[in-house]
Amino acid sequence: LMNINIPAYTSSKNLYSTLEKTIQTFCDIIQEEKHTATDPFVQELVHYIDEHFNDYGLCLSALEEAFNCSSSKIQKAFKNNLQITVSDYIEKKRMELANELLFQKERSITEIALECGFSNSNSFYKAYQRFYEKVKIYLHRFLSFGIMTCVDTCFANIQDWC
């Protein structure tokens, strides 16, 4: 850690943005390790969701139709194999895309919401706020209580709140 160069930031907003991206990257890596399917049925579900997560109509009932099986079977297999619910996985995929598109700043919020599979910008905003709430709480601590203290806390607890 002694050889790390910390770039100069012109504002706390720039620092906040960089920290948010970094923490989200850590969370994505941790979640990816937690959510690797070994069951062939779940692998098919994951592949299907990964291909269709930005379709507005993707939900549990759409998966029931696509896979010709009950929602309870889908939910149970998904949760037992990946330790996450189907709806949480879909939301995670949508938020990853949304986060990417928001940093490009080329589209309106409504366009991003629709491209990510949300019916409107209001439902997108609520999902985004819910999904990133934990990250923002920790980032606020970075800015309020000092970087090094919070970095230690962050890395000690990152797996719990990703």
In the predicted model, what is the mean pLDDT of residues 73-78? 92
Q: Report the pLDDT value the prediction gives residue 1, as an integer from 0 to 100.
A: 39
Overall average pLDDT of the 22-40 stretch: 67
Q: Are 73 and 116 in contact (CB under 8 A)?
A: no
Position 22 scores a pLDDT of 74
**3-class secondary structure, 95:** helix
pTM over 0.75: no
Query: Would you say residue 106 has pLDDT above 80?
Result: no
In tens, the pLDDT along 1-15 reads 345 455 565 666 676
Query: Which of 121, 135, 144, 117 has its CA nearest to residue 57?
Result: 117
Mean pLDDT confidence for 68-91: 91
pLDDT grade, residue 148 (50/70/90)? very low
Decide if pLDDT at 53 tops 90: yes
Distances (CA, A) of 5 to 1, 2, 8, 144: 9, 9, 9, 22
Residue 4: DSSP 8-state: P
| C-beta of residue 30 within 8 angstroms of C-beta of residue 153 | no
What does residue 132 show for φ and ψ, rounded to 5 degrees?
A: -100, 5
Helices in the chain by DSSP H: which ranges?
A: 12-34, 40-52, 60-67, 71-82, 86-104, 109-115, 121-145, 147-161
DSSP 85: -
